[in-house]
């Protein structure tokens, strides 16, 4: 949830979709004129913009200056403090290795098929490439250093049943992406994975665990509530796709 000053290139998205993509995040106190000016200066084909939920003035102002604005999703953030009593170690949870790469890819492919995140709201983004992005994202922390990021897996017998990728920021751990394969759902694996992470990072002297999802994803939020996580923030995601604006202009009489 760190605010970005202005817009920054989104290299992975640009390479995946073959267009120039930029991302920006503005906190609740950012002046409307600052946001509008930053967007106006950008030459990106697609801007993925995140703002504090409820800032409807931003979308209105951008539409008034000719942007084609899609409200793509709303992210909700949940968090919990970590202490010596947080979570519990699970014998079937461990740090992932390079040997788990294929299994993690298979879980991501099965779990995020048709998932309605912000990419799905944009009709010009090929859904096969969106889906491939989740697989790439799921594997992205495997080669990182444990003091910055890590990937964990939960096992069922000899099979990898689920995974979680985690980033560390100061005294906070952020569960960036997580999933349990549909074949292994409703066996308690997700709860054990979450509890293990809470316990592990508490023992590493981290003070807070955070995680986010789309607002419509009620089932996982109920699990978070049972684990002691509480809602504390929400962000709206907008796609400003200049290709849609150009095609709309071409159709005008």
What fold is seen in the domain 80-232?
A: Aminopeptidase (3.40.630)
pLDDT of 178 higher than 60: yes
Quick one: tokens of 57?
């003035």
Torsion of CA 57, 62, 68, 71, to 10 degrees: -30
C-alpha span between 39 and 113 (Å, rounded): 32
Looking at the chain, the whole-number percentage of residues with pLDDT higher than 70 is 95
At residue 246 the predicted structure's pLDDT band, cuts being 50, 70 and 90, is confident
**153 close to 162: Cβ distance less than 8 angstroms:** yes
* Mean confidence (pLDDT) of the chain: 92
pTM: 0.89
Between CA 102 and CA 136, with CA 133 as vertex, the angle to 5 degrees is: 35
Task: Give per-residue pLDDT as tens, 144-167.
Answer: 787 899 999 999 998 999 999 999
Compute CA distances 175 → 25, 39, 57, 167, 179, whole Å: 19, 30, 31, 7, 11
Task: Give per-residue pLDDT as tens, 79-138.
Answer: 999 999 999 999 999 999 999 999 999 999 999 998 999 999 999 999 999 999 999 999
Question: Looking at the chain, which residues constitute the CATH 3.40.630.30 domain(s)?
Answer: 80-232
More confident residue, 242 or 27: 242
């Amino acid at each position: 949830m760190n605010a970005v000053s202005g817009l920054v290139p989104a290299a992975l998205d640009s390479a995946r979709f073959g267009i120039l993509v930029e991302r920006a995040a503005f906190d609740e106190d950012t002046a409307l004129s600052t946001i509008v000016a930053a967007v106006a200066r950008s030459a990106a084909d697609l801007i993925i913009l995140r703002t504090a939920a409820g800032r409807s003035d931003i979308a209105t102002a951008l539409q008034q200056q000719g942007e084609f604005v899609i409200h793509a999703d709303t992210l909700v953030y949940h968090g919990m403090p970590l202490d010596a009593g947080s979570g519990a170690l699970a014998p079937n949870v461990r740090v992932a290795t390079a040997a788990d790469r294929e299994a993690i890819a298979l879980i991501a492919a099965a779990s995020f098929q048709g998932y309605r995140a912000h990419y799905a709201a944009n009709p010009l983004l090929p859904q096969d490439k969106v889906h491939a992005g989740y697989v790439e994202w799921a594997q992205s922390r495997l080669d990182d250093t444990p003091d910055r990021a890590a990937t964990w897996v939960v096992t069922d017998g000899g099979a990898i049943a689920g995974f979680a990728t985690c980033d560390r920021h100061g005294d906070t751990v952020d569960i960036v992406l997580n999933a349990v394969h549909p074949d292994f759902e409703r066996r308690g694996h997700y709860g054990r994975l979450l509890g293990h992470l809470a316990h592990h990072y508490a023992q590493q002297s981290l003070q807070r665990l955070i995680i986010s999802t789309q607002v419509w994803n009620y089932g996982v939020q109920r699990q978070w509530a049972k684990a002691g996580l509480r809602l504390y923030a929400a962000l709206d995601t907008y796609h400003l796709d200049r290709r849609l604006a150009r095609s709309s202009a071409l159709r005008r009489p």
